[in-house]
Amino acid sequence: MSSEITKLAYGITLSSSTKGYLGAILITDYKGFPLEFRYTDPIVPTKIQQVLYGEELEKYLKIDVITDSLVKALSEDISILFVQDEDLLEYKAKDILILRLTPTQSAALSNPGNYEKIKENEVLLQTAHAKAPVRLLFREDFECEGEKFDRVIDKLVKAGSFMDVDEPLVRVQKTLDLVCEQKL
């Protein structure tokens, strides 16, 4: 896999009690440099929507409205989308693997590319020397083995030699905070 085509996509959705629901996706190259950024304007559900959707309103907005519209608006093709919110693992898009990527405080595994299986769909992955591994959580029906899994590991290890692979999620979060504060 050549470095020129290695793209990493990071997505976040959030809710603000005063601003509504919004989200963003950042696509970076393997060094973490931005290639594309899309975000939604805040969505404030009406009282009727709140009553009709009940407890499922937040999930519906995050998955079916925000994430779906962002993915469809991208001009860059993505095959993997890293998210913070476990609810987004339910988003179903053709040819896009979605997984939760979170930092850990765990002791480093021996070498980049080494991983420790936690559950059938969850691993700790060492992406760089002397750093804590990251936690990868896949959909419940995903098993951490095979070609698809190996592609994810290869992309993250390649990127891990140039950047902290979970750091772009922090950038997306900070950008959404600016949107909420209307400081753009």
Domains of the chain: 3-180 (3.30.2170.10)
Instruction: Report the pLDDT value the prediction gives residue 48, as an integer from 0 to 100.
Output: 94
H-helix or E-strand spanning residue 38: strand 34-39
Secondary structure (DSSP) of 115-170? EEEEETTEEEE--STTSPPEEEE--TT--S-SHHHHHHHHHHHHHHTTS-TTHHHH
Phi, psi of 91 (to 5 degrees): -65, 130
Per-residue pLDDT of the chain (184 residues; tens, 9 = 90+): 444 567 899 999 988 767 789 999 999 998 899 999 999 988 999 999 999 999 999 999 999 999 999 999 999 888 889 999 999 999 988 788 999 999 999 888 889 999 999 999 999 999 988 788 999 999 998 989 999 899 899 989 999 989 999 999 999 999 988 887 776 5
Q: Give the position of tokens 């949107």.
A: 179
The pLDDT value given to residue 15: 86
In angstroms, the CA 55 to CA 130 distance is 43
pLDDT given for residue 184 in this prediction: 58
Please give the backbone phi and psi of residue 15, each rounded to the nearest 5 degrees, phi first: -125, 140
Residue 43: count of CB within 10 angstroms of its CB: 17
Residue 175 buriedness (CB in 10 A; 0-12 / 13-18 / 19+)? middle
d(CA 128, CA 40): 33
User: What pLDDT sits at residue 28?
Assistant: 94
Predicted local confidence at residue 3, as pLDDT: 46
pLDDT at 128: 87
pLDDT of residue 1: 44
